[in-house]
Structures are given as structure tokens and as C-alpha cells.
């Protein structure tokens, strides 16, 4: 059905999408959640779910960002 096409276009229905490669994370794939303190609600497209492989560099990036003095106090 053409009407349903847009439901699949984003690939995000029914499951999380990887914030790095924008592909859906399949149940069979390992995933990790990375949270950035400068993007608590994910509106910048940083905080969210990643494939385990895709998320590695973001995890280290988040680690750096979350420690930065500008993020608080």
C-alpha cells in the first residue's frame, strides 16, 4: 500500500534507529545508548540509541562532553 510507504521510509517504526548511521537497529543487532549532557532530550540527534559498533566513538565523545566544565556549575 502506498499510503503506508512513509511509515517505512524512516525505518524507525517498531524499533530504535541508530543516531550515527540512521539505520534501524534490528533486534538481532547489539545496541548501546549514549547520553550527552548537552543534548538531554536528543533534539540535537546526539543522545539516543546506536549500534554497538557505531556508538563506540560517540561514547568516548559523550564521555569528553559530559566532563567538560562548561556543562554545569
Kindly state whether residue 52 participates in binding Zn ion, applying the rule CB under 5 A: no
Task: Report the residue number, 34 or 54, with the smaller CB distance to Zn ion.
Answer: 54
Task: Report the residue number, 21 or 26, with the smaller CB distance to Zn ion.
Answer: 21
User: Count of residues binding Zn ion (CB under 5 A)?
Assistant: 5
CA-to-CA dists, residue 18 to 12, 51, 70, angstroms: 9, 6, 27
Q: Among residues 7, 21, 26, 52, which is the contact residue for Zn ion, using CB under 5 A?
A: 21
Q: Among residues 46, 54, 58, 62, which is the contact residue for Zn ion, using CB under 5 A?
A: 54
From the list 44, 47, 43, 70, the residue with the least C-alpha distance to 58 is 47
From the list 37, 34, 43, the residue with the least C-alpha distance to 67 is 37
Amino acid at each position: 500500500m502506498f499510503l503506508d510507504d512513509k511509515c517505512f521510509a524512516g525505518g524507525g517504526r517498531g524499533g530504535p534507529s541508530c543516531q550515527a548511521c540512521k539505520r534501524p537497529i534490528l533486534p538481532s543487532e547489539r545496541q548501546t545508548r549514549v547520553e550527552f549532557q548537552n543534548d538531554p532530550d536528543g533534539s540535537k540527534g546526539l543522545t539516543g540509541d546506536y549500534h554497538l559498533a557505531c556508538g563506540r566513538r560517540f561514547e568516548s565523545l559523550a564521555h569528553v562532553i559530559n566532563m567538560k566544565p562548561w556543562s554545569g556549575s
